[in-house]
Structure 1
Amino acid sequence: MPNIKYVLQRITQMDYKSMIDTAKKVHMRSGKNTMSIFFDMIKCGFQYQAGYMDYWVFEFETLTPAQRATYITRGQNNRYVRLLNKKESWYKISDKVNFLKIFDGYHGRDWMDLREHTPQEFEVFCQQHSKIVAKLLDGSCGRGIEFFETGDKSKIVGLYDMLLAGKRYLVEEYLTQHEQINKLYPMAVNTIRLVTIKNGDTVHLVFACIRIGNGKEVDNLNSGGMAALIDMETGKISTPAADKNGKAYDIHPLTKVKLIGYPLPFFQEGVELVKKAALLIPDLAYVGWDVAVTPTGPVLIEANEFPGHDLYQFQVQLGPDKIGLMPRFDKACEGLAPVNE
């Protein structure tokens, strides 16, 4: 049953120009009439709570009604968040400093909140770590992240004040990733996204992919990166990688690494790590975890109380039946009552 409040809100807030532009893009991709696509988008908004970007990314123009009904759209993703994540507890992981405190021992790196440290203490931190990462406390999609080489003392002159002025209060040591992950793409820390749903004392792994950088220092899809699914049993990449436009890559365009079948070290250890971590936040049962793989094992980079659903259902990564992930997610949620009602 569609969430009427959500649908009405989306109608009043819709960027109709972008919607029409997207319909034109779908026309170029499919050859179908632009206006028929536009009205089909509106229909999908009501029937499947799908935004126009869902329509584009998941290639809804190619799907039957039965197939469309299995997709985790923007509205359906909101449903899982409402069902599973107590809103008053979002801050526990949305604020990156809170996250690091709660998961001390799970994230494997030094960090500093500049609001609580002096310039002299920051200088000592930089002397201990030749490269650092500065972040906004509530940044997402790879935005607001900056990297600094700090091995030379002259490079940090004025840096403390600059970071404070830009509200990049969180400073972390830059992690060295495992050689096997580095071969995929060395300019970014390529993180594994593991999505868990906690039902009682059982933590279900419902989605696994690796995000890989492509020309920038971050791996996020919204910053030009790509994502490939991981076989949950073998820990190997099982599909081509796809970018935000759905373009498929069997081979990384820059490193020329063949992706399908590529083994990811410490994958099962990463799964066990997030399952243990999930039990530390009982009010947040639907979480997207970002895991980095270091030479000695997996560590948590961050957690998302509102996991992005755009990674879930690229057509190039689904089977021939083109069925989405909703049946898998709903099975993990069986018997749960909404936490926000």
Structure 2
Amino acid sequence: MNYLLYCIRRIDFKNWMRVSKNVAKRAHKPRALILLDMAQCGLRYQIGYNDYDWDDFYMLNHKQRKTMLSRGINNKIIAKYNNREFYKYFDDKGLFYKTYDEFLHRDWLDLRYADQEDLKKFIEKHSEFIVKPADGHGGADVEKLSASPEDANELYKKLLDKGQNLVEEIIVQHKEMGRLHPESVNTMRIFSFFDGEKGHIVQAVLKMGRHNAITDNFSGGGLYTFLDNDGVALYPATNSDGEIYEVHPQSGTDIVGFKVPFIKEAFKMVVKASAVTPEMKYIGWDVAVTEDGPVIVEGNNIPGVFEPRGRFLKGKPGCLVRYRKYMDI
């Protein structure tokens, strides 16, 4: 109820009217009926008007709607299963890297605890590298740089001034993953749940970048689709604007049927990682795939809400069915 009241207070009514108009046009239904249904779905399923649009809620019957993961339900899961005292292990990427180092399989440096000489030694080994803020989100301020050891002193100060205090080795992705979008490291968001004894894979999403972006973040224009248990893409990809792509708009690679290499190894790695901080039971792991196998990019203690578009479900249930296998929600 608190989340519902919070959402009501924050409603952008002008945007709600715009979204309802677009949905009514696609659904071939009166706008008044769509507005009424949006309001009812907000109360009944805790689904916001944007998610109503992105998830094609107007295409779903009541039985299906009950199985869709909403932001309200996702927030309840996080509040119930993730201990806030341990958020720091994920909010601070430097602390995350230290805690989960065995799963990273790459060199990294936290400039908050390293000096110019450490950076110089790092650059001697890696002339090209990635820099990012330890508290960054959504791919913001992530850059690919190149430097020589002689640049270390000046670069050290510059990076600290910009808050880009993490320096890490570039992940060279598997050539098959590069077929999707070679400019970015295309990852999976693998959702895990630790039940106190062992970890479980709840679902897996394939993400891919667009244009010249070096990250695949949804908030930065990236695309995503869903994977089955064998790592095969089930549906066309979509983006934050609701556009749908059966092939990648830049690379021309077919998305439906694309198979992620090393998927079983990736699932096994995530299950193991899920037990490291048992106080954080519900995590979304960003996992890249190299020629040698999977590597963890980062973990998300507040996993985003990913659901297949209603038009793809064709009568099948949404993600909550799998969530309820492991969680009491």
Partner of 2:97: 100
Deviation at 1:222, TM superposition (A): 1.3
In structure 1, give the amino acid aligned to 2:188. I
In structure 2, give the amino acid aligned to 1:224. G
Give 1:172's match in structure 2, choosing from 149, 152, 168: 168
Partner of 1:213: 209
Deviation at 1:102, TM superposition (A): 0.8
Deviation at 1:240, TM superposition (A): 1.8
**3-state secondary structure, aligned to 2:138:** coil
1:34 to 1:123, Cα distance in 2 relative to 1, 3 A: farther
In structure 1, give the amino acid aligned to 2:195. N
Whole-angstrom CA distance in 1 between matches of 2:241 and 2:68: 17
Deviation at 1:41, TM superposition (A): 2.2
**3-state secondary structure, aligned to 2:112:** helix
Whole-angstrom CA distance in 2 between matches of 1:332 and 1:64: 25
Whole-angstrom CA distance in 2 between matches of 1:303 and 1:89: 13
Whole-angstrom CA distance in 2 between matches of 1:301 and 1:126: 20
Partner of 2:327: 333
Q: How does 1:151-230 map to 2 (within 5 A)?
A: 152=148, 158-215=154-211, 216-230=213-227
Deviation at 1:219, TM superposition (A): 0.7
Worse overlay, 218-227 or 30-39: 30-39
Sequence identity (%): 34
Point out where structure 1 has 5 or more consecutive residues left out of the alignment: 337-341
Deviations 1:91-146 (A, max 9, x none): 11121111111111111111111122223432332232122111122222222212
Q: How does 1:28-47 map to 2 (within 5 A)?
A: 28-47=25-44
Deviation at 1:212, TM superposition (A): 0.9
Give 2:122's match in structure 1, choosing from 102, 120, 125: 125
Whole-angstrom CA distance in 2 between matches of 1:123 and 1:28: 59
Partner of 1:66: 63
Partner of 2:134: 137
Deviations 1:296-328 (A, max 9, x none): 11111001111000x222235x43114211121
> Contact 1:289–1:304 at 8 Å: present in 2 too?
yes
The 4+ residue runs of structure 1 with deviation greater than 6 A are: 154-157
> Contact 1:70–1:323 at 8 Å: present in 2 too?
yes
Deviations 1:153-200 (A, max 9, x none): 687784332321221211111111111111221100001111011223
**3-state secondary structure, aligned to 2:267:** helix
> Contact 1:291–1:301 at 8 Å: present in 2 too?
yes
In structure 2, give the amino acid aligned to 1:274. V
> Contact 2:181–2:208 at 8 Å: present in 1 too?
yes
> Contact 2:119–2:152 at 8 Å: present in 1 too?
no
Whole-angstrom CA distance in 2 between matches of 1:36 and 1:260: 34
Give 2:7's match in structure 1, choosing from 7, 10, 13: 10
Q: How does 1:275-286 map to 2 (within 5 A)?
A: 275-286=271-282
Worse overlay, 131-140 or 174-183: 131-140
> Contact 2:120–2:150 at 8 Å: present in 1 too?
no
* Pair 1:294-2:295 in alignment: no
Partner of 1:313: 308
Give 1:111's match in structure 2, choosing from 108, 113, 123: 108
1:154 to 1:28, Cα distance in 2 relative to 1, 3 A: farther
Whole-angstrom CA distance in 2 between matches of 1:25 and 1:147: 38
Deviation at 1:294, TM superposition (A): 1.1
> Contact 1:246–1:314 at 8 Å: present in 2 too?
no
Whole-angstrom CA distance in 2 between matches of 1:33 and 1:157: 64
> Contact 1:252–1:258 at 8 Å: present in 2 too?
yes
* Pair 1:324-2:318 in alignment: yes
In structure 2, give the amino acid aligned to 1:217. I
> Contact 1:289–1:303 at 8 Å: present in 2 too?
yes
**Number of residue pairs matched?**
328
In structure 1, give the amino acid aligned to 2:164. R
Whole-angstrom CA distance in 2 between matches of 1:319 and 1:14: 28
In structure 2, give the amino acid aligned to 1:88. E
Partner of 2:239: 243
Whole-angstrom CA distance in 1 between matches of 2:151 and 2:315: 55
**3-state secondary structure, aligned to 1:105:** helix
Partner of 1:76: 73
CA root-mean-square deviation = 2.0
**3-state secondary structure, aligned to 1:147:** strand
